[in-house]
Amino acid sequence: MQLLHNDYLHLAVRLLIGGLFLYAGSPKILDTMGFAASIYNYKLFPSPIIGLTAAFIPWVEVLAGLALILGVKVRGASLLISVLLVVFLILAAISAIRGLDIDCGCFSGVERKANWLAIFEDLTLLGCSFFIFYFDRLRVSPIALIKKRNNPDKKEALQ
Protein backbone atom coordinates (compact mmCIF):
# COMPACT_ATOMS: atom_id res chain seq x y z
CA MET A 1 0.00 0.00 0.00
CA GLN A 2 2.99 2.27 0.52
CA LEU A 3 3.42 2.34 -3.27
CA LEU A 4 0.10 4.16 -3.60
CA HIS A 5 1.57 7.03 -1.60
CA ASN A 6 4.70 7.25 -3.74
CA ASP A 7 5.27 10.76 -5.14
CA TYR A 8 6.83 9.52 -8.36
CA LEU A 9 4.03 7.04 -9.06
CA HIS A 10 1.57 9.88 -8.59
CA LEU A 11 3.60 12.05 -10.97
CA ALA A 12 3.80 9.27 -13.58
CA VAL A 13 0.03 8.64 -13.51
CA ARG A 14 -0.66 12.36 -13.64
CA LEU A 15 1.63 12.83 -16.65
CA LEU A 16 0.10 9.79 -18.36
CA ILE A 17 -3.51 10.89 -17.92
CA GLY A 18 -2.71 14.57 -18.50
CA GLY A 19 -0.74 13.78 -21.67
CA LEU A 20 -3.45 11.45 -22.92
CA PHE A 21 -6.17 14.08 -22.50
CA LEU A 22 -3.98 16.76 -24.06
CA TYR A 23 -3.41 14.41 -27.00
CA ALA A 24 -7.12 13.55 -27.19
CA GLY A 25 -8.41 17.11 -26.95
CA SER A 26 -6.01 19.04 -29.23
CA PRO A 27 -7.06 17.51 -32.59
CA LYS A 28 -10.73 17.96 -31.64
CA ILE A 29 -10.13 21.69 -31.15
CA LEU A 30 -8.59 21.84 -34.63
CA ASP A 31 -11.43 19.78 -36.17
CA THR A 32 -14.53 20.65 -34.17
CA MET A 33 -16.86 19.58 -36.99
CA GLY A 34 -15.20 16.15 -37.12
CA PHE A 35 -15.73 15.74 -33.38
CA ALA A 36 -19.35 16.90 -33.77
CA ALA A 37 -19.77 14.15 -36.41
CA SER A 38 -18.40 11.57 -33.95
CA ILE A 39 -20.97 12.65 -31.34
CA TYR A 40 -23.74 12.59 -33.95
CA ASN A 41 -22.80 8.98 -34.84
CA TYR A 42 -23.96 7.83 -31.39
CA LYS A 43 -27.49 8.78 -32.55
CA LEU A 44 -28.45 9.82 -29.04
CA PHE A 45 -28.32 13.61 -29.00
CA PRO A 46 -30.18 16.51 -30.58
CA SER A 47 -28.38 19.23 -32.53
CA PRO A 48 -27.88 21.74 -29.63
CA ILE A 49 -26.28 19.11 -27.38
CA ILE A 50 -23.95 18.01 -30.20
CA GLY A 51 -22.92 21.63 -30.78
CA LEU A 52 -22.32 22.43 -27.12
CA THR A 53 -20.35 19.23 -26.55
CA ALA A 54 -18.20 19.70 -29.66
CA ALA A 55 -17.44 23.32 -28.78
CA PHE A 56 -16.59 22.97 -25.08
CA ILE A 57 -15.52 19.41 -24.22
CA PRO A 58 -12.22 19.46 -26.20
CA TRP A 59 -11.19 22.57 -24.27
CA VAL A 60 -12.11 20.91 -20.97
CA GLU A 61 -9.95 17.91 -22.00
CA VAL A 62 -6.96 20.06 -22.97
CA LEU A 63 -7.13 22.38 -19.94
CA ALA A 64 -7.66 19.51 -17.50
CA GLY A 65 -4.77 17.62 -19.14
CA LEU A 66 -2.51 20.66 -18.85
CA ALA A 67 -3.53 21.15 -15.22
CA LEU A 68 -2.54 17.55 -14.42
CA ILE A 69 0.81 17.88 -16.20
CA LEU A 70 1.66 21.17 -14.51
CA GLY A 71 0.29 20.10 -11.14
CA VAL A 72 -2.22 22.94 -10.86
CA LYS A 73 -5.68 22.32 -9.37
CA VAL A 74 -5.02 18.59 -9.67
CA ARG A 75 -8.05 17.37 -7.71
CA GLY A 76 -10.46 19.53 -9.71
CA ALA A 77 -8.88 18.47 -13.02
CA SER A 78 -8.95 14.77 -12.12
CA LEU A 79 -12.58 15.10 -11.02
CA LEU A 80 -13.50 16.69 -14.36
CA ILE A 81 -11.65 13.97 -16.25
CA SER A 82 -13.46 11.33 -14.18
CA VAL A 83 -16.82 12.87 -15.08
CA LEU A 84 -15.89 12.85 -18.80
CA LEU A 85 -14.77 9.22 -18.53
CA VAL A 86 -17.99 8.18 -16.77
CA VAL A 87 -20.09 9.90 -19.46
CA PHE A 88 -18.08 8.15 -22.17
CA LEU A 89 -18.41 4.85 -20.31
CA ILE A 90 -22.20 5.16 -20.38
CA LEU A 91 -22.21 6.12 -24.08
CA ALA A 92 -19.88 3.28 -25.05
CA ALA A 93 -21.96 0.78 -23.06
CA ILE A 94 -25.18 1.95 -24.74
CA SER A 95 -23.50 1.72 -28.17
CA ALA A 96 -22.11 -1.74 -27.45
CA ILE A 97 -25.52 -2.98 -26.26
CA ARG A 98 -27.21 -1.47 -29.32
CA GLY A 99 -24.58 -3.16 -31.52
CA LEU A 100 -23.48 0.10 -33.17
CA ASP A 101 -20.29 -0.21 -35.19
CA ILE A 102 -19.07 3.36 -34.76
CA ASP A 103 -15.84 5.15 -34.03
CA CYS A 104 -15.83 6.33 -30.42
CA GLY A 105 -14.47 9.79 -31.30
CA CYS A 106 -11.93 9.54 -28.49
CA PHE A 107 -8.86 10.42 -30.56
CA SER A 108 -9.09 12.20 -33.90
CA GLY A 109 -7.33 10.32 -36.66
CA VAL A 110 -7.15 7.11 -34.63
CA GLU A 111 -9.77 4.49 -35.43
CA ARG A 112 -11.12 3.23 -32.11
CA LYS A 113 -14.53 1.58 -31.90
CA ALA A 114 -17.03 2.24 -29.11
CA ASN A 115 -17.03 -1.40 -27.99
CA TRP A 116 -16.32 -3.49 -24.88
CA LEU A 117 -12.54 -3.05 -25.30
CA ALA A 118 -13.00 0.73 -25.23
CA ILE A 119 -15.08 0.31 -22.06
CA PHE A 120 -12.30 -1.72 -20.43
CA GLU A 121 -9.70 0.91 -21.40
CA ASP A 122 -12.00 3.64 -20.13
CA LEU A 123 -12.38 1.87 -16.78
CA THR A 124 -8.58 1.67 -16.47
CA LEU A 125 -8.26 5.40 -17.12
CA LEU A 126 -11.06 6.04 -14.64
CA GLY A 127 -9.13 4.07 -12.02
CA CYS A 128 -6.02 6.21 -12.72
CA SER A 129 -8.10 9.37 -12.47
CA PHE A 130 -9.57 8.30 -9.12
CA PHE A 131 -6.06 7.48 -7.94
CA ILE A 132 -4.90 11.03 -8.77
CA PHE A 133 -7.96 12.49 -7.03
CA TYR A 134 -7.75 10.33 -3.91
CA PHE A 135 -3.97 10.28 -3.37
CA ASP A 136 -3.48 13.97 -4.06
CA ARG A 137 0.31 14.37 -3.76
CA LEU A 138 1.91 17.43 -5.26
CA ARG A 139 5.46 17.17 -4.00
CA VAL A 140 6.73 16.46 -7.47
CA SER A 141 5.35 18.81 -10.10
CA PRO A 142 6.84 21.49 -12.37
CA ILE A 143 5.10 24.25 -10.39
CA ALA A 144 6.27 22.83 -7.04
CA LEU A 145 9.83 22.53 -8.36
CA ILE A 146 9.81 26.17 -9.53
CA LYS A 147 8.50 27.27 -6.15
CA LYS A 148 11.19 25.23 -4.41
CA ARG A 149 13.92 26.78 -6.57
CA ASN A 150 12.66 30.30 -5.93
CA ASN A 151 12.16 29.77 -2.19
CA PRO A 152 14.71 27.19 -1.00
CA ASP A 153 13.98 28.08 2.62
CA LYS A 154 10.37 27.03 2.23
CA LYS A 155 11.33 23.61 0.92
CA GLU A 156 9.82 21.86 3.88
CA ALA A 157 6.65 23.95 3.83
CA LEU A 158 5.85 22.71 0.34
CA GLN A 159 6.01 19.17 1.56
Question: Which residue, 55 or 90, is less far from other proteins as judged by CB?
Answer: 55
Distance, in Å, from the CA atom of 24 to the CA atom of 18, rounded to the nearest integer, reads 10
Q: Which residues contribute to the site for other proteins (CB under 8 A)?
A: 29, 32-33, 36-37, 40-41, 47-48, 50-52, 54-60, 63-64, 67, 73, 76-77, 80, 99, 101-102
Q: How far is the CB of 87 from other proteins (least distance, A)?
A: 14
Question: Which residue, 9 or 100, is less far from other proteins as judged by CB?
Answer: 100
Question: Which residue, 58 or 128, is less far from other proteins as judged by CB?
Answer: 58
Question: Which residue, 4 or 86, is less far from other proteins as judged by CB?
Answer: 86
Q: How far is the CB of 144 from other proteins (least distance, A)?
A: 19
Tell me the HSE value of 114 on the side-chain side, using a 13 A CA sphere.
26
Contacts of 45-53 with CB under 8 Å at 24 or more apart are none
Q: How far is the CB of 159 from other proteins (least distance, A)?
A: 25
Q: How far is the CB of 50 from other proteins (least distance, A)?
A: 6
What are the DSSP calls for 115-136, one per residue? SHHHHHHHHHHHHHHHHHHHT-
Q: How far is the CB of 36 from other proteins (least distance, A)?
A: 6
Question: Which residue, 5 or 112, is less far from other proteins as judged by CB?
Answer: 112
| Structural contact between residues 88 and 122, judged by C-beta atoms closer than 8 angstroms | yes
What angle do helix axes 7-30 and 47-70 make, rounded to 10 degrees? Answer: 140
Total Cβ atoms within 10 A of residue 53: 18
